[in-house]
Amino acid sequence: MSREEVYDIVQETIMDVIPDVEKEDIAIEKQLKDIGANSIDRMEIVTMSMRELNVKIPLMSFAGVNNIEGLVNVLHENVNN
Amino acid sequence: MLLNQGIGITGMGIVSSIGDNITTFTHSLQQGISGIQTKEAITKPPLSVTIAAEIRNFSFVEKLKNIPNVPEEKFKKAKRLGQRAPFVIQMTILAALQAWTQAKLFENTVASDRIGLVVAGQNSTQNYQYNLLSQFVDNPEYLSPRYALEFLETNQVGVLSELFEIEGEGVAVGGASATGNVGIIKGHQLLALGIVDVCLVVGVPADLSPLDIQGFINIGAMGGKTYNDQPSLACRPFDKKHEGFIYGQASTSVILENQKSADQRVVASLAKVSGYGYNLDKNSSANPNLTGEEKAMKTAMQNAEISTSDVNYINTHGSSSPLGDQTEAEAIFNIFKNHTDTVYLNATKGLTGHCLYTAGMVEIIATVIQMKHGFLHPNRNLKNPIHNELQFCGKVATKYTIQNALCNSFGFGGINTAIVLENID
């Protein structure tokens, strides 16, 4: 699965979790909190994205992530493992 | 000094199987419409009882849009808090917004720390949890982190206090099938103690899992045997062919407010909550208790400083349970012996099904509606009453002026409650 496809799924998940967010509000360099996700929303975006991608990644692996790009990268690495 | 005088209801809201607001619910009461039908979905596993008064074709956002007079900013907040929340949270948000707007609390505001919140509900996430279980067993990692908030009953306290900016006391209370009355009583106490001036009391619908339904079947409490193929005939409070309760769903809300606050805000009270009785009969089982029920009604009337001759209507607990109906009929007869010809009785559960945790509030709301509109709703399935000396309402609605009403609610675990509502028109 390409990184672009993973990003698409993450975007869909973000819009599911935060109903007010439109696709144009999301940019890969942005932080989730900048588009209105609180700490629980952010955790939910991570678990829902994992479920959509059918991967299980220890939550520790996301410790260094500080924007959407970082999240997409961790997911992408594991999808293709 | 308790401020027992002048605590009234200034707003009400309901989402039920026979109406998703006060207007449509009123119409259904007048027409004697039953919400009991064959269930939309077959449960997994399939169960022997397949009828209930469920909420059908539910769309949170559609119903939210239909509530008038909600400020744009509050609409957005409600949508955000509710859109992905469990069904029961969505349901209570809708009922609470209806009551809040009727009481004009968005316009004529009250200091946020003078507003209390009582969430009348228990075990409200049973079906939500049941539905998550099969996925969880295979993939525990995918459980939403929100679950840790959502399985707590007090999540309702958090969501509703955030939506309405309530900063007084907030609690979740339970009392089995009497939970609704317990909620009203606890709200009344917050006002009587002077802790708050306004209290939002919200009833959380029972969203039973198949496990819970089977439990009620196995304990012998649930009806739906003889009439499983004729759902609207299955709930028969006080009829000789009653055979147990039929499950119903409803969310409810009531704004309780002291008279001074209502006067200052120029908001009319719909009815006065003038007294209540609440006792335990020290019984861990399911059976009703004659003495406890009598005591609840007597205490309620004493508390309201009225006598039996002042009461001309009783909204019974009447759950269609043979022993329950028999015990309540006897308790009422023992107390009203000399006035039974002037006290009319009906059972709202005959139309709404038994809404369990919200049943008491559904019936308080039904009582206020009948008071305001001057009628008594029918007992649609009462053909052969189990008691011949009580005045049960007939098969069609009748014009009637309720002066003082008693609203009974009893619950498993020896919980007995009665509330007196006074007509203030």
Mind listing the pLDDT tens digit for each residue in B334-361?
999 989 999 999 999 999 999 999 999 9
The CATH code of the domain that includes B326 is: 3.40.47.10
Scan for tokens 């707003």, then name that residue: B11
Nearest Cα to Cα of residue B115 among B196, B189, B7, B10:
B196
Domain membership of residue B358 as a residue range: 274-422
CB nearest to A56's CB, from B76, B79, B141 = B141
CB nearest to B83's CB, from A19, A47, A50 = A19
Q: Do B100 and B124 fall into the same domain?
A: yes
Number of domains in chain B: 2
Interface A-B, measured as beta-carbon pairs within 8 A, has a size of 28
Please give the pLDDT value at position B3. Answer: 53
Tokens of A66: 């500080």
CA distance B126 to chain A (A): 21
Q: From chain A, pick out residues whose CB is under 8 angstroms from the CB of B84.
A: 16-17, 19
Please give the pLDDT value at position A81. Answer: 74
- Position B407 in a domain: yes
> Domain ends where: B265, B292, B323?
B265
Report domain extents, chain A.
Answer: 3-79
Q: CA–CA separation, B130 vs B134, rounded Å?
A: 8
- Give CB contacts under 8 A, 24+ apart, made by B292-296: B292/B410, B292/B414, B292/B416, B293/B327, B293/B328, B293/B331, B293/B408, B293/B410, B293/B416, B294/B331, B294/B334, B294/B335, B295/B416, B296/B408, B296/B410, B296/B416, B296/B417, B296/B418
Among chain A residues, the shortest Cα distance to B79 is held by A19
Please give the pLDDT value at position B258. Answer: 97
User: A3-79 adopts what CATH topology?
Assistant: 1.10.1200
Mind listing the pLDDT tens digit for each residue in B371-400?
999 999 999 999 999 999 999 999 999 999
CA distance B77 to chain A (A): 10
> Domain ends where: B237, B265, B293?
B265
Q: Check A51 against B80: CB less than 8 A apart.
A: no
Residues of chain B with pLDDT under 70: 1-5
Q: A interface mutation test: which of B141, B143, B152, B162 has the most A CBs within 10 A? A: B141
Scan for tokens 């045997």, then name that residue: B225
Q: Check A20 against B80: CB less than 8 A apart.
A: yes
Please give the pLDDT value at position B1. Answer: 45
Mind listing the pLDDT tens digit for each residue in A13-58?
999 998 889 999 999 999 999 999 999 999 999 999 999 999 999 9
Beta bridge partners of B250: B16
Nearest Cα to Cα of residue B105 among B257, B210, B231, B247:
B257
Mind listing the pLDDT tens digit for each residue in B147-187?
999 999 999 999 999 999 999 999 999 999 999 999 999 99
Q: Do B145 and B248 fall into the same domain?
A: yes
Q: Check B149 against A43: CB less than 8 A apart.
A: no
- Position B390 in a domain: yes
Q: Do B106 and B238 fall into the same domain?
A: yes
